[in-house]
Amino acid sequence: MDSDWPGYRHAPAYTPSDSTDGPAFASPLGTASWGHDGFSHDPGFLASQEELRCMLFTIAQSAAPTRAGSPAAQGHARELPHETERLPLRPALSNTRRVEYLKNYVGQVAPWLDMFDSQCTFRVQIPALARTFPALLYAILAISARQMERKEGIRNSFDSIELYQEAIRLLSPLLQNPDPKVVAACVLLCCLEMMSARAQDWRRHLEGCTALFDAFGINGFSSGLLQAIFWCYVRMDVCGALISDGTQSTLLRPSKWLAPDCNEDDASRLFEAVQSPDMQANYAVYLCAKTCELVSDRTQFVELAAQNECTGETFNHRWLRLWEDLQQWIQNRRPELLPVHTTQTKPFPQILFLHWAAISSNQLYHTACILLLNIMPKSLKLQPAPTISALWHARRICGISLANPHQGCLNNAIQPLWIAGRLFSHVSEHAIIIDIIQKIEGETGWGARWRIRDLELAWGYQVPRNWGSKDYKSPAAD
């Protein structure tokens, strides 16, 4: 077992959702007109995905032997396919194909996994570990194959599914004695699942890794490899919370992102003590997660009368504290997270950053501010400033995406663009946002265009397919 694997601790009861449960999201996801490729409905993928999910719940439950197993997880366990019932795997990949997938992983996939990691753990360290750890190697090959299939529009390739199945087969016996390489493989497979998952299935795909992190106490301040893996995972968790449109928090509550002995009131000092632009960017992710948590609590209190103390002065205090933390973050950013140039163009300013982590962390700051302003207590009065305008933040979200085409940060912009895009009313603004979203999917292979349908619902009209800013003559820059 690796030296940076944390000790077991008793995990709280964790109940996996059923595939038919969960909130209904606005997005229809899966309409052929927006490029759905059917991968998430493939019987072989569904069977293997369910097997991986159940294995993760099983090992998570083993960390708390005194706790009764989840009924839902036990029920699914009886349905796991027997080894002989697997779809047969094709012969091993040719060396040429394997090299192609590895090159694509390093050049196209690892950058967004390493978005907030200057050490490039997923690009450098994890492939090196995979040389002697086949399960991790197959996970790398699988996610790379899936990304190439998505980006190139390949509909009849079975490489990604077969590599995914082989990775799971190799992981199965190792989960009884897990180490960080196993966790890395699981997160890579989770990323593969998210790449083309339906919105209503996001949380289901994330649940297995959530249980694993929770059971073994992996957090944002774990040492070595586990820290990089953790922050890669929780960025997806935040995206899942944003997708829920205020109905749900992150699966792994933000309090569990911190070191075990850290109080949430001391979170800012904990992040600042690291003295790293990467960790300061991660603090923006944490604050966005805290915002999703507050929005969810408020929604459940208002709509479901949940007894979560999200009312009166308690709510006002939580809101104001979080707002102040966000404004301190933007004011105290390290030089690496500041823009190097801002051009005041219409309809959106173009804001250029040089550091990878600066791009998404600043977008998440603006996203969190929009969400908070949407639920601002009427009794609070803020000092007049641009930051109290949701539209001001929305324009900056779009401007950051326009000026920063770094592939590693594109897919993290999908949900912020959707949240910002709903606030605009002019067709020229809509055209630019659609163009950005279409380019994100085209350049990364990450499913993005389904959000256009959600924007159509907000805008009140249907956008012609393959329509973008090229079809609208934008106003000249100032």
**Tell me: the pLDDT tens digits for 358-371?**
999 999 999 999 99
Quickly state the pLDDT bin for 176 (edges 50, 70, 90): confident
DSSP state letter for 460: T
Q: Quick check: 22 pLDDT over 60?
A: no
SS3 346: coil
Q: Quick check: 277 pLDDT over 80?
A: yes
Q: Quick check: 205 pLDDT over 60?
A: yes
What is the DSSP secondary-structure string of 130-156? HTT-HHHHHHHHHHHHHHHHHHHT--S
The residue written with tokens 């962390």 in the block is 361
**C-alpha distances in angstroms, 158 versus 45, 90, 129?**
10, 9, 26
What is the token pair recorded at 75?
């029920």
**C-alpha distances in angstroms, 50 versus 184, 202, 342?**
18, 13, 47
pTM of the predicted model as reported, rounded to 2 decimal places: 0.86
**pLDDT score of 183:** 93
**pLDDT score of 269:** 93
In terms of residues, how long is the chain? 478
**pLDDT score of 90:** 47
Q: Quick check: 459 pLDDT over 70?
A: yes
Lowest-confidence pick of 77-91, 123-137, 187-201, 205-219: 77-91
Q: Quick check: 324 pLDDT over 90?
A: yes
Q: Quick check: 245 pLDDT over 60?
A: yes
Q: Quick check: 14 pLDDT over 60?
A: no
Residue 190 contacts residue 237 (beta carbons within 8 Å): no
**pLDDT score of 27:** 39
Residue 434 contacts residue 459 (beta carbons within 8 Å): no
**pLDDT score of 433:** 96
Query: Other CB atoms closer than 10 Å to residue 152's CB: what's the count?
Result: 10
**pLDDT score of 445:** 85
Could you tell me which residues are beta bridge partners of residue 341?
Answer: 352
Q: Percent of the chain having pLDDT more than 90?
A: 58
Q: Quick check: 74 pLDDT over 70?
A: no
Q: Give me the mean pLDDT over the 432-452 stretch.
A: 90
**pLDDT score of 227:** 95
Could you tell me which residues are beta bridge partners of residue 342?
Answer: 351
**pLDDT score of 309:** 78
**pLDDT score of 471:** 54
**pLDDT score of 310:** 85
Q: Give me the mean pLDDT over the 34-56 stretch.
A: 75
Q: Quick check: 178 pLDDT over 80?
A: no
Question: Which among 335, 241, 331, 348 has a CA at the least distance from the CA of 288?
Answer: 241
Q: Quick check: 467 pLDDT over 70?
A: no
Residue 356 contacts residue 410 (beta carbons within 8 Å): no
Q: Quick check: 11 pLDDT over 60?
A: no
Extract the runs of DSSP E, i.e. beta strands, from 322-434: 341-343, 350-352
Quickly state the pLDDT bin for 38 (edges 50, 70, 90): low
Question: Which among 110, 121, 237 has a CA at the least distance from the CA of 180?
Answer: 121
**pLDDT score of 446:** 86
Quickly state the pLDDT bin for 242 (edges 50, 70, 90): very high
Lowest-confidence pick of 102-116, 127-141, 166-180, 254-268: 166-180
Residue 353 contacts residue 339 (beta carbons within 8 Å): yes
| Most confidently modeled range among 171-180, 257-266, 408-417, 424-433 | 424-433
Name the average pLDDT for the chain. 83
Better-predicted residue by pLDDT, 280 or 54: 280
Q: Is the peptide bond before 347 cis (omega within 30 degrees of 0)?
A: yes
**pLDDT score of 469:** 55
Give the N- to C-terminal CA distance of the chain in Å, as an integer. Answer: 60
Lowest-confidence pick of 128-132, 300-304, 333-337: 300-304
Q: Give me the mean pLDDT over the 445-466 stretch.
A: 88
Q: Quick check: 356 pLDDT over 50?
A: yes
